[in-house]
Amino acid sequence: MKLLGLLLLLTSAHSFAAPKAHKQKIRKIEFETKQLEDGVHWMPESITVTQGEVVQFIVKHTIPGKDEHGFFIPELKIKTVVKRGKTEKITKEIPTTLPAGEYKVLCDKHEGTHKPATLVVKEMGAT
């Protein structure tokens, strides 16, 4: 009898459980090395994200010369090596605690010759 009561309790609790949260949509943002007159750049030169947003950075290095570049965003704790001809994917939620503002997207392997891009972080709910 106790077993039957326990089964009924578990069954009814399961029936009234809160629905599972839906997965948050992931926005894909592509970065690629580009050789311009003044050096190598991460392109696009600027991207805008919002606090709390989940983004997947798709990072490519396709230009001849250096075999690898660093993809480094200190404020997001992203630091990876991108080898020529390979694609790196980094999924990250933009922290709600990261202040709105502009942050550098760097190459920590060639700081003198690789020009940074800009990551613009907007406040959640801002238009």
Q: What is the spatial distance between Cα 45 and Cα 53, in angstroms, rounded to a whole number?
A: 20
Residues 78-122 have pLDDT tens digits of: 999 999 999 999 999 999 999 999 999 999 887 777 899 999 999
Per DSSP, which regions of 51-127 are E strands? 54-60, 68-73, 78-83, 87-93, 101-105, 114-115, 117-122
Sign of CA dihedral 112, 114, 119, 120: positive
47 falls within a domain: yes
In a domain, 40, yes or no: yes
Range with the poorest average pLDDT among 26-30, 87-91, 122-126: 122-126
What is the CATH number for 72? Answer: 2.60.40.420
Calculate the average pLDDT of the chain.
84
The model's confidence at residue 37, banded by pLDDT at 50, 70 and 90, is confident
State how many domains the chain has: 1
Instruction: Using alpha carbons, select from 98, 124, 120 the residue that is nearest to residue 47.
Output: 120
- Does 85 reside within a domain? yes
% of the chain with per-residue pLDDT over 70: 81
Highest mean pLDDT among 13-22, 106-115, 118-127: 118-127
Range of the domain at 92: 22-122
Q: CA–CA separation, 90 vs 49, rounded Å? A: 15
Asked whether residue 38 is domain-assigned, the answer is yes
Instruction: Go through the chain and tell me how many residues it has.
Output: 127
Q: Is residue 14 part of a domain?
A: no
